[in-house]
Structure 1
Amino acid sequence: MLHQRYAIIFFYLYITFFFAFSHNLGAQTQEIHRITVRARQGNQEAQHVANLIQQADQIGLTYELRPLLSQYGSFGTSIQFDFIQDNTDTNNIVILVAVPLSSEFAVTVVEDLLLEISKNAINANIRIAFVADEANGHRGLIEQLDQFDDPESVVVLYFDLLDETGPLSLYQGSQGYISPLQLLHEAVKIGKKYKIPINIPEPFNELFRLNVLKGNEALEVIHERGFSAIVITNQSPTRTGPLLDKKDVSRFLKDYIEHSPKDTALFDFHYTILHFNNNYFFIDEKHTLIIVLCSVFTILLFFAINSIIFRRKIIIYWVIFLRRSWILLLYIGLLLGSLYLSRICIWIWLMLYGTTTSLPLTVVILFPVLWFSLFSFISPILQNITIPKRSSFYGQSGILVILFGLLLAITIDISFMPVFIWALFWIFLGSLVHNYFINLLSSLLAPVQIIILYILTAVKNNAIYPLYIYPSQFQNSLVLSFIVLPFILLWKRTILLRIQKSKQRLQRNKYGISKAIFTVVLLLVILSIGPTIISTNNKDKDVTTNSDTPLFSTNLSSTSFLNQKTISIMLKAKTTIDRYQIYVLKNDVQNISLIESTIPFAKTETGDLYSDLTGYPDTHFTFDILLPKNEKLSIRIIGKFGHNITEYLLTIP
């Protein structure tokens, strides 16, 4: 009896596994047939997948097809290859190489890499994924990332080469995040090894950390999900390098994968990129701390030596500074006041041209000029306060403020150190020397890095607009005023040295009328600059125009069972379709109770359901939705190809 019982159990297990395997095999075969049909219709991504399947079968590589329709609303299909070392967990994929199927040259390069791996195993745990439908929200990439439960154990290499044109551009930063130094440094080093030109178009880690600069779109998607990543592409504005050799790039990629760091706990996210004449230098976290400590130690040592040699003089200066240090608060107050006054100009501008209008680049760049002109106009009121040794007071105040900013930046992020070190050097030099020309040079050079970063941010996007210009939180305004204060103090010291050199008396209102005229003219100039782009709320989904010739036809059928009904809709395209947009309209129903669907839906602000299907839709496509039996809804379907649009409005029985 016991043997009979075990025999029955094994028989049921065998039947279960047989049907499960047959189901998976049937689904895989059906998907391959679908890809083959799409490839014959001229779909480029399907052609690449078909070629990869054929190559994998020839060299004996296992693969997995990943259709995107049911979860991500795309008709594309990704294909992935896993290479796992022995004695490791099969889920521990360390390096994910994501290759867009739309990138012709990248696909051919990684095809060679697959052939090489089949002959010589690579010393790494990797997944090579050819991802589909990257042009529409990176849906293939998102599907790959969603397979991993622990982002910290995965490193993503997004390899996107459209053609053979160089150089290879490395993107490491996104809004609020930067990639680890090890990934960037290794790519530059291996690029030199194979004599492949390497470019880092956006080496502005400070701006990425401050969350005011957007990075590469794919990298934004990856970083938002908590993965460490680097993007290697040749789709940059400066595509002027030599043609890339496919074999060299394939060897570069293989070498890079093998030498990429395997321990994510050792990643360095606090570093600085310096570049000169197409050469890149990296200052890691350790050396940044050494530079900071050496700078602070040098300044303290200098003050200590001067205190010993010029003891009486230094004591007098410090007594004056301590007694008049409250004046710095007045300067910060004036900077804040002039900043808010200058924002009134932006408010008037928005009232003239619309509150949804983006600020033109010229207005963004002229805004600091307006701010400082207002400050220059109202700041002479502080000249009524008697300050002995006023020029020395300004110099000492500038050093202490920038030192405080340096220490504050350390607590926030050590990546900001180089900007403060640069400013600290020139402010220290300007406060030390009593020569007018050296002070003038220091006043001009001290804020150079901050000015460059501001202009770069303004040129690349308007992220600085809501943060610092209008509107802005008081905290942001206070930080901005604090950063600007040491440069203002150094400039005032320079003006005083100029007055002392020419033996003139300090006059409060000498240039008051000129400053007022300049400020008014600048205000009128800003208000006269019209918007370049006015944003609207008109989206692609609002289009209701039908094309002259229908692009597709529909067939709706309904099946009821108990208290539910299944709606099956077939779409037959007569020509190529770029995308389908499908709406389930609630009509008089308070809320749509969607039980299940074979395509993903999202809820709109009006309570309707919306699905955007992209990735070269099939010419014959059927989708099903399961609804409560008593709901009377409508379905709106829009098909688009170029400028041609066909729309159907179907009523669910």
Structure 2
Amino acid sequence: MFDPVGVFRAFLISGLVLFLPFQVFAQTAHKPDVPAIEQSRIEWLISALEERNLPYEQRELFSQYGAFGSSLHVVIRPDTQSDDQPELFILAMPLYSAGDPGSPGRYDMEAALIFAEKTMQSGTNAEIRIAFLGNEYSVLPEDIESSRHEGFEDLLDIYDNPELMNLLYIDIPAETDKLGIHHGSVGNTAPMGILSPFTEACADLDIPYSFVIRYNELYKIGLASGPEVLEISQPRGVPSFFVYGEPLENPVKAIPGDRLGSLLFSYSEKLDTSPSDMDYHYSLLHAFSMTLYFSETLTVLSFLALLGISLFVFLIYTVIFRRTLITQWRIFFKRAWVVGVLFLLLVASLLGADLFLFFMKKIFSIFGSPRDYTEAMLKIIAAIALFNLTTPFFARLKIPRKANYYGSSAVVLIAVGLFIAAVFDITFIPIFLWAFVFGFLAAVIRRPILVFICTLLTPIQVIGALINIMTTGNSQLAQIIASVNFYITLYIAVISLPVLLLFSRAILLSRRLSHLQTAKKYTYFRLSFLGAAILAIVGYNIYLSLNTPLPPDRPVITEQSSADAIMTVSAGDIQFLDRRTVNLRLEAAGSPVQFNVILKNTVEGLPLVIYDTAMPYRISDDGNSVIFLLGEFPENPFSSEIVLPLDFRGILRAEALYTPWDGTVTPEPPENPGDYVLRVVREVPVPPEL
């Protein structure tokens, strides 16, 4: 008898048996030897620099940052000596990064050497530092505490005044046919003075480029974040931006290495800024391989010009149509409560959508943040469906010249938003200027089709910014929209209300049927729309419940005995006078990604003092623990010394971290090999027990 279920089960099991070994091999085999690659590249760079007679210095990172690698810096001094501080241009790049092919010389390194050689030949009036940074690559997930970008931290700590630094960080490990630009971090952007010369140099050399985030407003309000290096440098006040190579799509159009070197040289020649010239409140428009910059001065002048034109038009209108204007303002103030009711109903609709989504998650046991923008879009659709049920109430309101009332209310709200934006940050003015112009046109034009077009164009800048952040894969906005937060709900309602009023005006102008026919016609549509929204939310939650991702795999093995131990810890001591020197030695099976060392004081009332150690450290807030700061990819075995007071008594806790799964350490494969970090823990007493 044919059993289709049994055949399918057998086929599935056989497929898993054949597939799993290859999957396990893929997880354990591909683990680049980052320290060896970085060391080979340093040797390659030293050879290339000596061949070109370029000065360099090698900076070890262990004593200050606990990293097990080093960086290589090339410093080119200005030709002329002056008492004034020379301009400073810093070009930084990692010795190894994600997507690195592992070849002896990276693409950006070769371009940097060409740039350095050209600079030495032509001379420079600025100080130029080219930094090849070690320990920039990290394999540990963000939820695991770890030191990152030690080479970059070392670079930033060289100079005392961050405002004098003009920093370009490039990460182009292999050939590319287009450059991508990150120019901001959460709450910060690179100044226009260091960004515009780079895009100008790209245009001169016909090098394609694009901005990852095209709206500075997204950076300012914290909806968009930048690469980790910009999140480190920009909050410190360092003018900086990040350039990377996009995946090569057309090898024929690949950017030659010498042209990339010429780009860096041309940029350094065009760069001529000082702290007083920096403009952080600019806007940019990138289209058709061109970038237009709107400076802070131009933005302020545009705002003042629009304000002057609006006042002039208002004065002319009051002279010619004085009686009509008085009538309209009387209607507006008498019916101002209608806008308030609309706003409250919009808030209630959003809260109702929040509540329904919350209960659906509870019913289907779905936890965690939204994975994409689907939940946020469903919330907006459900809110619109709920709000749509209230429209018959407003249709029965007797408001003279209702269409004009809705248009005037929308313009007033946008104007208030424009003035608030001008007070808080000039960067937001262009978006509100755009909305005000098209909102005003939608309020004064009477042809329905033109009103619809202007209404759609009113929020187009906001829509463009939302699409921009959605295409970057940033889910922060989705989490904000989908969150059950009353203040966020108010903010969404405030932004949506003017557009809603303009759409209401357009619908009123386009309506040709009687009120009774319209009500009958749209009642079924409102109910159907609400039902479809409910079904979509239920279906989406069913899909999530059936496709729940595996949680992060974070196993912890605490070792007590030495038999079959994954990690051995030796903490022998030598006593001399009033001091105790602990000789620490850690050795672990396989290749641990990181060692963690924590020393705890077990004697109450006795302060924990470190006389000397080669490892950087920090003392906990309570003063009873010392955390030694060690970077990734450590030496194995690792040895160091800690000099303590003779009367110290405590516990030394050592941890070895592994990722990805290593079959030589734990033979049993994990449930979630894609997000796996094993922590092996061992504690020993200090001083050792006899």
TM range (shorter): 0.7 to 0.9
Residue in 1 aligned with 2:656?
638
SS in 2 for 1:391: helix
SS in 2 for 1:262: coil
Residue in 1 aligned with 2:135?
133
Q: Do residues 579 (structure 1) and 584 (structure 2) align?
A: no
The residue type equivalent to 1:116 in the other structure is: K
**Aligned equivalent of 1:405, options 388, 399, 417:** 417
Q: Show structure 1 runs of 5+ residues with no match.
A: 1-39
Q: How far apart in 2 are the matches of 1:91 and 1:66?
A: 24
1:232-268, Cα deviation, whole Å (9 max, x unpaired): 2214697888212222211211221122133122111
1:386-406, Cα deviation, whole Å (9 max, x unpaired): 321111111111111111111
The residue type equivalent to 1:598 in the other structure is: A
The residue type equivalent to 1:69 in the other structure is: F
- 1:455-604 aligned at under 5 Å gives the runs 455-458=467-470, 460-465=473-478, 467-472=480-485, 474=487, 476-499=488-511, 501-504=512-515, 511-512=522-523, 514-530=525-541, 531=544, 539=554, 542=556, 555-562=570-577, 564-571=579-586, 577=591, 579-584=593-598, 586=600, 593=608, 595=610, 596-601=612-617
Deviation (angstroms), 1:324: 2.0
Residue in 1 aligned with 2:187?
176
Q: How far apart in 2 are the matches of 1:54 and 1:364?
A: 55
Residue in 1 aligned with 2:455?
443
**Aligned equivalent of 1:228, options 239, 244, 256:** 239
Say if 2:570 and 2:584, in contact at 8 Å, map to a contact too: yes
Q: How far apart in 1 are the matches of 2:251 and 2:641?
A: 50
1:140-197, Cα deviation, whole Å (9 max, x unpaired): 1122112332222212111221112121222212211111112221111111222222
Say if 1:356 and 1:536, in contact at 8 Å, map to a contact too: no
Residue in 1 aligned with 2:89?
95
Q: Do residues 625 (structure 1) and 642 (structure 2) align?
A: yes
Q: How far apart in 1 are the matches of 2:410 and 2:430?
A: 17
Residue in 2 aligned with 1:28?
none
Q: Percent identity?
A: 24
Distance of aligned partners of 1:299 and 1:93 in 2 relative to their CA distance in 1, 3 Å threshold: closer
Q: How far apart in 2 are the matches of 1:129 and 1:176?
A: 26
Deviation (angstroms), 1:87: 3.6
Residue in 1 aligned with 2:405?
393
1:194-245, Cα deviation, whole Å (9 max, x unpaired): 2222222321212111111112232222213221101122146978882122
Q: How far apart in 1 are the matches of 2:389 and 2:557?
A: 52
- 1:167-566 aligned at under 5 Å gives the runs 167-235=178-246, 242-351=253-362, 352-383=364-395, 385-458=397-470, 460-465=473-478, 467-472=480-485, 474=487, 476-499=488-511, 501-504=512-515, 511-512=522-523, 514-530=525-541, 531=544, 539=554, 542=556, 555-562=570-577, 564-566=579-581
Q: How far apart in 1 are the matches of 2:597 and 2:613?
A: 13
Say if 2:95 and 2:134, in contact at 8 Å, map to a contact too: yes
Q: How far apart in 2 are the matches of 1:563 and 1:520?
A: 80
Deviation (angstroms), 1:648: 6.8
Distance of aligned partners of 1:360 and 1:117 in 2 relative to their CA distance in 1, 3 Å threshold: closer
1:105-133, Cα deviation, whole Å (9 max, x unpaired): 11122122233333332221222211111
TM-score (norm 2): 0.79
Q: How far apart in 1 are the matches of 2:110 and 2:343?
A: 59
Q: How far apart in 1 are the matches of 2:575 and 2:520?
A: 87
Residue in 2 aligned with 1:84?
77
Q: How far apart in 1 are the matches of 2:203 and 2:89?
A: 22
Q: How far apart in 2 are the matches of 1:380 and 1:369?
A: 19
Q: How far apart in 2 are the matches of 1:179 and 1:92?
A: 21
SS in 2 for 1:320: helix
1:356-394, Cα deviation, whole Å (9 max, x unpaired): 343532112222222222222235444554321111111
1:79-115, Cα deviation, whole Å (9 max, x unpaired): 2233333445798672222121126111122122233
Q: How far apart in 2 are the matches of 1:164 and 1:235?
A: 9
Q: How far apart in 2 are the matches of 1:138 and 1:648?
A: 25
Tell me how large the CA RMSD over aligned residues is.
3.6
- Higher mean C-alpha deviation, range 433-442 or range 183-192: 433-442
The residue type equivalent to 2:123 in the other structure is: A
The residue type equivalent to 2:324 in the other structure is: K
Residue in 2 aligned with 1:10?
none
Q: How far apart in 2 are the matches of 1:295 and 1:481?
A: 26
Q: How far apart in 1 are the matches of 2:548 and 2:233?
A: 29
The residue type equivalent to 1:632 in the other structure is: G
**Aligned equivalent of 1:71, options 34, 57, 64:** 64
Distance of aligned partners of 1:200 and 1:236 in 2 relative to their CA distance in 1, 3 Å threshold: farther
SS in 2 for 1:135: coil
The residue type equivalent to 1:435 in the other structure is: R
Distance of aligned partners of 1:502 and 1:236 in 2 relative to their CA distance in 1, 3 Å threshold: farther
Q: How far apart in 1 are the matches of 2:372 and 2:160?
A: 43
Residue in 2 aligned with 1:651?
684
SS in 1 for 2:580: strand
Deviation (angstroms), 1:75: 0.7
SS in 1 for 2:158: coil
1:276-325, Cα deviation, whole Å (9 max, x unpaired): 22222222222223333343444444444444444433332222123222
Distance of aligned partners of 1:536 and 1:559 in 2 relative to their CA distance in 1, 3 Å threshold: farther
Deviation (angstroms), 1:427: 1.9
Distance of aligned partners of 1:527 and 1:316 in 2 relative to their CA distance in 1, 3 Å threshold: same
Say if 1:161 and 1:234, in contact at 8 Å, map to a contact too: yes
1:523-582, Cα deviation, whole Å (9 max, x unpaired): 342244244776857558x46699x9988866543123455422222346787x352322
The residue type equivalent to 1:130 in the other structure is: F
Q: Show structure 2 runs of 5+ residues with no match.
A: 1-32, 98-105, 139-147, 666-679
Distance of aligned partners of 1:357 and 1:262 in 2 relative to their CA distance in 1, 3 Å threshold: closer
Say if 1:638 and 1:648, in contact at 8 Å, map to a contact too: yes
Residue in 2 aligned with 1:147?
158
The residue type equivalent to 2:580 in the other structure is: K
TM-score (norm 1): 0.83
Residue in 2 aligned with 1:107?
109
The residue type equivalent to 2:614 in the other structure is: T
Q: How far apart in 2 are the matches of 1:87 and 1:367?
A: 63
The number of aligned residues is: 610
Q: How far apart in 2 are the matches of 1:337 and 1:497?
A: 27
Q: How far apart in 1 are the matches of 2:340 and 2:403?
A: 18
